Every structure is written in structure tokens, then in C-alpha cells.
Structure 1
Amino acid sequence: MQGIKLGGTASEISVGKVAHGLMTMTWTPNPVSDEQAFEAIKAGVDSLPAGVKMFLNSGEFYDNSWGPGNLKLLSRFFIKYPDYTEKTFLSVKGAMSASGPDGSLQNLRRSVDNIQRELGSVKKLDLFEPARIDPKLTVETMMENLVILLKEHKFSHIGLSECNANTLRKAHSVYPITAVEIEVSPWAYEENQKAVIATATELNVSVLAYSPLGQGFLTGTIKSPVDLPDGDMRMKYDRFKEENFNTNLAIVEGLKAIATKKAITPAQLCIAWVASLGPTIIPLPGSSKASRTLENLHGGYVQLTQDELRAIKEVISAHPVAGERYYGAAVQMYLWG
């Protein structure tokens, strides 16, 4: 399992071809035990060769109370397994306030200091991402604020999340962006995704493609809305609502047929397809089980033939996705900032 080089200021760092999203370990109605979470993290790290790090993705607000539960879990992990600090590359999203994204120097400093305080002294924050672009500031001003904190050694690399291609280009002109995090999957691949991927390829910026499995829908394991546990945030998503569910199942069935023919899982097919979209793309699925971490990781090393790529394109074209990516105007307004 060879690695892929990160972009921007991390171009000398090699990571696995599939990253590991940690959100569902703590931001769920039933958070998993430390033992299960730790084994899920270790499984991916241990499968990579020496010199290749596992890219871990967390958030300042990844728990049911919009708090630091995910960071606290990571702190316990690195205290128990200090040898894994150098085997992992940690990215954390933050800088959200009660009124939305806040890219002011004061709030960025608050966020970064809070993240490091919760992580503790064993693991240093490698890459920091404002979770959304603050519309109250120019992106150049936000970047200048981030560079101040970077030069204070608060973190080592700068990332962006949910930005458009023009924003990425402007930000990169101020200081090299290492990674940009956007949603990419067979049901989230439209003009904005294509533009960001093209710009990131040109600028040698890594694209962290989150939700490559459509929040789990595209794995084929969710047969109806009732399969979601009580309190699951996906119950609010348009694409999981009953009026859209059966329409979107057609996409799943089409992908499942291609995966079966290739003797891989639908999840691995989706991850392989996302990875094929550009040379700097790193699929970012979430996992809270060791077996799923390994399944996902192996998906990044699956090679799809031109016939298979055409077949996937035909499925996507024949079955337009029903429903919006998120829910509510307050959330939608900060997408593609």
C-alpha cells in the first residue's frame, strides 16, 4: 500500500491513499467504546508501510453536544499509543461560532488553542481547517490571520473546507493550501466539485473527498429510513427522507451490480471511483470499526477499467439524485463559500 504525497507545504509527507474520518465515533446517538475506536484507528495505521502516515480527520465540535468529544477521544488514544503520533497526520476543523463561521484572528486563535488543549501534549495539530468560509471577511484576510497563527507554530499546515474553486485560488495566492475538504461521491459530483478538483490539480492541493459513500447510503446497507437509529443526524437529510429514498436506491442498485461483477464491495467501488477523479484526491470515508477501516482503505487501491468507469458514469447519469446535500437554509448558505 504505497502512499500519496500531500499538497502545499506538506508536499514531502506521504499518506495512505484513503484517509480516515473520525466523526461517527462520537457524533452519533450511540458513541462507540474507546476500545472499538482505537482498534479502528490502529487497523488503518498498521496496514500502511513505514514512512506512510494515516491521514486522520477530526473536528472541534464532533460530538452530540457540539463539543470536543472527538478530540478527547484522540487525546486518550495518543496517550495510550504514543508511538502512533508520528504514524498519523491529524487534520481538525474548527472556527465555528454560535452565529456561524468566524475567521477573525481572535476566533481562529480561540479555536486552535482549544483544539490543542483538548488534544493534550502528546499529539500536535498538523493541519487546521476553518470548517466553513466566513462570508464577513475576504478570504485573503482570513488567510492572513491563519498565517499569523501558523508562524506562531500553532499548527503546521493550512487547509480549507467547503470552499469554491475561486476561493481556493485566492487563498492559495496568499499562502500555499495543503488540502481542501469537499464532499465528493457518485451522488455529489457536480460543477462545483469538478471546478475545485481541477483547480486543486493545477495548484497541487490535496482534495479530501469527504462522504464518498453518501453518508453510508451508497454502501447498500441502509434499506429504508427505518434502518437509521433514533437520533441519527441523517434522518434530517433530504436524501434519506422517504419521498427521496426509493429514488436514490436506484443509484445504489446500479453501483452494486458493477461492484458484484468486479468482486468488490459497493463501498470500495465508490472509493475507487472518487480516487480516480484526480491525481491529488484522497477519499475521506468515516469508520468506527476496524473491519470497515480496512475495507475502505483497500478501496483506494482498486484500479477501475475504462469500461467500469463508463458503467459508473451511466448509472449516475441515468439516476439523478433526489434531495439536497444537507438540510435547512442556515446550513446550505455556507456551502461552497
Structure 2
Amino acid sequence: MMATLTGKPVGHTGYGMMNLTWRETPVPDEQAFATMKAALNSGCNFWNGGELYGKPHANSLHLLNRYFTKYPEDAEKVVLSIKGAIVPGERRPDGSEQGIRRSIDECLKILDGKKFLDIFEQARVDHKVPLKESMDTMAQYVKEGKLGGISLSEVTADQIKEAAALYPIAAVEVEMSLQTPDILTNGVAATCAELKIPIVAYSPLGRGLLTAAITKIGDIDPSDIRLHLPRFAAGNLEKNAQMGNEIQKVAKAKGYTPAQIALAWVRSYSGRSGFPTIIPIPGSTTKERVIENAKEITLNESELQELEDIMKKTEVAGARYPPH
């Protein structure tokens, strides 16, 4: 699969580097760098991070700075997308002109010229601020050559249309997996197809639930942010782990891994009639996992139907996020 974001080609696999996501305890640089190198060598050149991923002094931008300091030759090979516009120290959006400027300026300061900021996106739409104010502010950075393009995150079909009418949208980042197929029916995928905007599908492995890596509370580190999500609450987690167990059976019978099966399902919608390009970005903290996830497999109609049947018969308990 090939896709293009802000004029740069996204490698044949179209996977991002989600080892840049939130971690209470950062992965050691040696391990992180090896993972990032393996991703790039596997054709995974769309890297997704965030100002909010990690503590202020150790978020994913700091990791990127150190990586590109060591491997400056890789900077031009990577399409870098960063989420921000969050109130510092809080998980509350700030889409005001001041908030957007603070966030982009901070990202640029940490990157320190080691890597161009190809794409910036608000992690969440700020409902207290007109979307036009946020978009106009980001667009000014593009005009000044400080930013390559604007992406959207966790938006509705109507918000995509409103934003696209104001400025070209490089991508829309939303959750999509066998446990979260919402965008296929809520108008988001259809709107992106209509406007020819690629979708960046985060958490395509259900944050570990679809690979049978997590089956009980004890499988999660006490500091892991997933323990704050409803689907990982006691009672819900056990129900949600059932789908992963079913996918594991399918994968074993076909000689693949559960992750490869789950990713193939997401990719099966990419470019299908009525759907846009869809780029899944699984999380990886080791080079072995990156290599596994980068191996593309294609599922035939009967295999896809088998997965659809699993979706119908297994319960998904709990919301994606807490009410706030």
C-alpha cells in the first residue's frame, strides 16, 4: 500500500511508530532506537507521537530529538505527525490561538531543528473554541514554513467537513479495530473517502486485547494508563479478552500471529469502494514486534467473514474512554 501525507510517500506497509505513545516508564534509548530503526528498515516511515505522550521532560518529542541527533540521515525519510494542543499537565484540550501557538512552539523547540514537523494535530477538538480559530492558527504556521500540514484527531464527520472547508486536511486520526469499528458506520470513513483524506487508524490491536497479550488485570503494569480505561476495568477486561482468544485460534490455524490478522482486517477496508486509504499504526516497543507487525498478509473473503462472525458473537464491554 502506498499513501502520501504532505507530499511525502508513506512506505508500503503504512504503519506508524506507536512506541512513541504514552509510557509512565520510558523505554531505554537503546531499545527504542533499535525499534525505530527496525520500523524504518521495514518501510514504516509514518511516525506518530505526541506532546502529551509522556511527562513534559520525557515525552516522545524528546525521544525523537535524541534519535535524530544520533541518526540525522533518517530525518528526511520519516513523515512525522505530532499531537498536541493540550493544557500542560492536564488532559484537557486548548484549541485557542494561544494554546495552539504554545503547543507548536514547544514541539519545535524540543525538536530543535533535528526534524521538520510534517504534521500537527489537536489531540482533541476544544469545544470551547471555534474550530476556525484553531485551524487558522495552525494554517499560519504552515504558511510560515514551520509546519508541513494539519491533521485531525478524534473528530466527527461534521467536524471533518467543517475543518476541510477551512484548510486542506493531511489525515484524520481515529481509533479503528475489530473491537472498535465505529468509523465504518458513523460517517467518518465515508466523509474521508468523499474528501479523499487518508485515515490514520490508532489502536488497531485493541491496546493488546486483540492479540491475547492481556487477558486479566494482572497482565497490566500498575502504572499503565490502560487501567484507567473502561474496557480494562475488572469485569469488562475479561469479556473483552474473549475476542483476542478467538483471533488467536484463527491466527494459529492459518500460521499467522493475532496481530497480523487484526491488522489485515483493518487494511482490508483501505481503498475499498466507499472507503479512503486507511493506515493502521500499531504500538511497538521492540524491533521484533515491529518486524512482526510490518509483515503484510491478505485475508480472503471467507477469512474476513470469519472475523466478522467473531465480532458479532463476542461482547465488547465498556466505553473507549472515561466520560471526562
TM-score band w.r.t. shorter chain: over 0.9
CA–CA distance in structure 1, aligned partners of residues 281 and 91 of structure 2: 27
What is the correspondence of 1:218-257 to structure 2 with a 5 Å cutoff? 218-257=210-249
Give the CA deviation at 1:293. Answer: 1.0
How many Å apart are 1:207 and its aligned residue? 0.6
Structure 1 equivalent of residue 3 of structure 2? 5
One-letter amino acid matched to 1:6: T
CA distance in 2, matches of 1:137, 1:110: 15
CA distance in 2, matches of 1:284, 1:99: 22
Contact 1:164–1:192 (Cα < 8 Å) also in 2: no
- The CA deviation at 1:6 is 2.4
How much does 1:11 deviate? 4.9
In 1, Cα distance between equivalents of 2:185 and 2:76: 32
With CA pairs under 8 Å and 6+ residues apart, which has the higher RCO, 1 or 2?
A: 1
Contact map agreement 2:84 2:122 (CA 8 A) in 1? yes
Is the aligned partner of 1:276 residue 2:268? yes
Question: Structure 2 residue aligned with 1:75, among 43, 61, 65?
Answer: 65
Q: Structure 1 CA distance, aligned partners of 2:140 and 2:80?
A: 20
Residue of structure 2 aligned with 1:180, choices 151, 161, 172: 172
* AA aligned opposite 2:131: V
One-letter identity of the residue aligned with 2:9: I
2:297 match: secondary structure? coil
> What secondary structure sits across from 1:216 in the alignment?
helix
Q: Distance in 2 between matches of 1:109 and 1:193?
A: 35
- Once the two structures are superposed, residues 189-242 of structure 1 have per-residue CA deviations (whole angstroms, 9 ceiling, x without a partner) of 125765211111221111110000111111112231101112111112211122
Distance in structure 2 (CA, Å) of the matches to 1:120 and 1:90: 14
Instruction: Say if 2:205 and 2:259, in contact at 8 Å, map to a contact too.
Output: yes
Partner of 1:325: 320
- How far has the Cα of 1:101 moved from its partner? 1.3
Does structure 2 retain, via aligned residues, the 8 Å contact 1:206–1:282? yes
Question: 1:89 maps to what in 2?
Answer: 79
* Cross-structure match for 1:57: 48
Structure-2 change in CA distance of 1:153 and 1:118 (3 Å): same
Q: Describe the superposition over 1:171-191 as per-residue Cα deviations: whole angstroms up to 9, x where unpaired.
A: 111111011110101111125
Q: Does 1:315 align with 2:313?
A: no
1:6–1:205 CA contact under 8 A, matched in 2? no
1:32 matches 2:23: no
> Is residue 2:291 matched to residue 1:294?
yes
The residue aligned with 2:138 is: 146
Instruction: Give the gaps of 5 or more residues in structure 1.
Output: 331-337
Decide whether the 8 Å contact of 1:183 with 1:209 is kept in 2: yes
Count of residue pairs brought into register by the alignment: 316
Normalised TM-score (structure 1) = 0.89
Q: Which amino acid aligns with 1:45?
A: L
> Is 2:115 aligned against 1:123?
yes
**Alignment TM-score, normalising by the size of structure 2:** 0.92
Deviates more, 1:242-251 or 1:284-293: 242-251
Do the aligned residues in 1 keep the contact of 2:176 with 2:183 (CA within 8 Å)?
no
1:43 and 2:38 equivalent? yes
In 2, distance between residues paired with 1:192 and 1:95? 27
C-alpha separation in 2, matches of 1:259 and 1:99: 37
- Unaligned ranges ≥5, structure 2: 272-276
Q: In structure 2, how many angstroms separate the alpha carbons of the residues matched to 1:18 and 1:54?
A: 7
Instruction: Determine what percentage of the aligned residue pairs are the same residue.
Output: 38
1:128 aligns to what SS in structure 2? strand
Q: Distance in 1 between matches of 2:57 and 2:199?
A: 26
Aligned to 1:333: none
Amino acid at match of 2:75: T
> Given that residues 125 and 155 in structure 1 are in contact (C-alpha distance below 8 angstroms), is that contact kept between their aligned partners in structure 2?
yes
Structure 1 residues 124 and 231: CA distance shift in structure 2, 3 A:
same
Between the aligned partners of 1:316 and 1:19, the Cα distance in structure 2 is 25
SS state of the match for residue 25, structure 2? coil
Query: Once the 2 structures are TM-superposed, how far is the Cα of residue 113 of structure 1 from its aligned partner?
Result: 0.8
Q: Residues of 1 paired with 2:97 and 2:239: CA distance?
A: 45
Q: Residues 95-110 of structure 1: matches in 2 within 5 Å?
A: 95-97=85-87, 98=90, 100-110=92-102
What's the C-alpha RMSD, in Å, of the aligned pairs? 1.8
CA distance in 2, matches of 1:167, 1:91: 20
